[in-house]
Amino acid sequence: MADTQAAQPDHVRLLGRIFLTGDITLKTGLHIGGAASTLSIGGVDNQVIRDTLTGRPYIPGSSLRGKMRSLSEKFGARAQNFAIGQGVRIHVCKTRADYDSCEVCQIFGVPGELESSGPTRLIVRDVFLTEASAAELAGLRTDLPFTEIKWEAAIDRVTSAATPRQMERVPAGAVFGPFELVYSLYQAGDAARFANVVRALKLLEDDYLGGQGSRGSGQIAFANLQLRAKRQADYNQATTLGLAAESIGSLDDLLARLPDLLQPLAGG
């Protein structure tokens, strides 16, 4: 029987990495759900995820990365053609030809068993409360440690009967950071493709992170951005590529400066 899978490279060569760091400021309260604990009288219905060691809320890298991918798929009108759970579908290129022309799959990856499989370029780390923000929240009279309780009500459209519900949120003004995105370079053109990662962050600033976004939660802003990189040779010595951009004002500024900032990596 003939092999129906497209030919894949017999090796992967890491050419370098780009690192983007900064802070995430909450412009409205943030709810990213955690595992439900045992319900008690007066308990919260919808809890936020917390770091086991410190008890502080944090932003999982999977939440940030997943929203970046979802918005990138919508921006590119990518077909939702791959089921990853009950009622959940995402875009995945299933052939090598489709993958080679798809920025989403090349950046965020595809399942390893598919013929289009290739190395995932983007890593997104978990993001924790800054020490300053944690200290500020600890000094406030919040409903729960580091968080507030937002009351909502579901209203019957006919009888106007209300069913109250609670949602735990990290208050507006809290700062998480530093966040870190690690973007790997495997072939010529990958450095230029990094602009799509920055665009995904821009899309996220105009959207929301976590749950209840259509009702006001999850508006965020990225700040204090820094960009640096390492070439392959830099991993063999105690130096890094002189590619640091300090005090980048905004994602728009970063996007405008990217061609110059990444010029040393443009050759792949």
Please check whether residue 95 lies inside any domain of the structure. no
- pLDDT per position as a tens digit, 36-62: 544 444 456 689 999 999 999 999 999
Residue 128 lies in a domain: yes
Any domain includes 167: yes
Question: d(Cα 68, Cα 198) in Å, to the nearest integer?
Answer: 10
Q: Select from 199, 24, 209, 202 the least CA-distant residue to 127.
A: 24
Number of domains comprising the chain:
1
Residue 206 lies in a domain: yes
| Each residue's pLDDT tens digit, 192-218 | 999 999 999 999 999 999 999 999 999
CB 44 within 8 A of CB 168: yes
- CA separation for the pair 91, 73 (Å, rounded): 7
In a domain, 250, yes or no: yes
Q: Is residue 151 part of a domain?
A: yes
Q: What is the pLDDT of residue 240?
A: 53
Percent of the chain with pLDDT over 70: 85
70-86 pLDDT, tens per residue? 999 999 999 998 888 78
Identify whether 32 is part of a domain.
yes
The count of other CB atoms within 10 Å of the CB of residue 87 is 5
Closest CA to 18 of 198, 218, 172, 213: 198
31 domain residue, yes or no: yes
Residues spanned by the domain of 198: 16-61+119-265
Radius of gyration of the chain (CA): 21
